[in-house]
Amino acid sequence: MTINTESTRQQAINARNASRSLNQLSSADRTQLLHGIADALIRKSDLILEANQADIKEAEQSVLNGSLAPELLKRLRIDDARIASLADGIRSIAEMPEPIGAVLVDRELGDGLHLQQVTAPLGVILVIFEARPDALPQIAALSLRSGNGLILKGGKEARRSNAAL
């Protein structure tokens, strides 16, 4: 496993730059990327499951010594069915209508004055989540579809699973 030594500031700058790059892609390009991610989840499922099993083994010891709540152990588990469900969910997100540039309001306010409310990406989103590695691909897919940069902070209980994902 690789340890990320990048500063928080640099991560934010990279996420902002990624957001700007995403905004340059067409809807079809982002759709294609999402389908590629879904396919990769299936293709790499053995690697993901192996990493998840290592996290579960460590977490079971933490439950036994009282340093981890048993509920978190249940959320940590990933299996083949969950990976297939995640891939299907990402494919569904890929096929959603284009979220960037949709006109929500279009009004003529007066002579030469026109008002439009148009959807736009937020920029960079930070998401902190616990022992829920299945949240990572879901959040990433939504962020990619909506053209937002993303910084994710997963729980230490799922560090191997998150790295594999």
Q: What is the mean pLDDT of the chain?
A: 92
Helix 27-43 and helix 80-94: axis angle, to 10°? 170
Angle 8-9-15 from CA coordinates, rounded to 5°: 90
Answer yes or no: is pLDDT of 3 > 60: no
**DSSP SS3 for 105:** strand
The pLDDT tens digits for 80-119 are 999 999 999 999 999 999 999 999 999 999 888 999 999 9
| Among the listed residues 38, 43, 145, 165, the one whose alpha carbon sits nearest the alpha carbon of residue 90 | 38
Classify residue 95 by burial, with Cβ atoms within 10 Å: 0-12, 13-18, 19+.
exposed
Give the helix, strand, coil percentages of the chain, each rounded to 5: 60, 15, 25
The pLDDT tens digits for 110-132 are 888 999 999 999 999 999 988 89
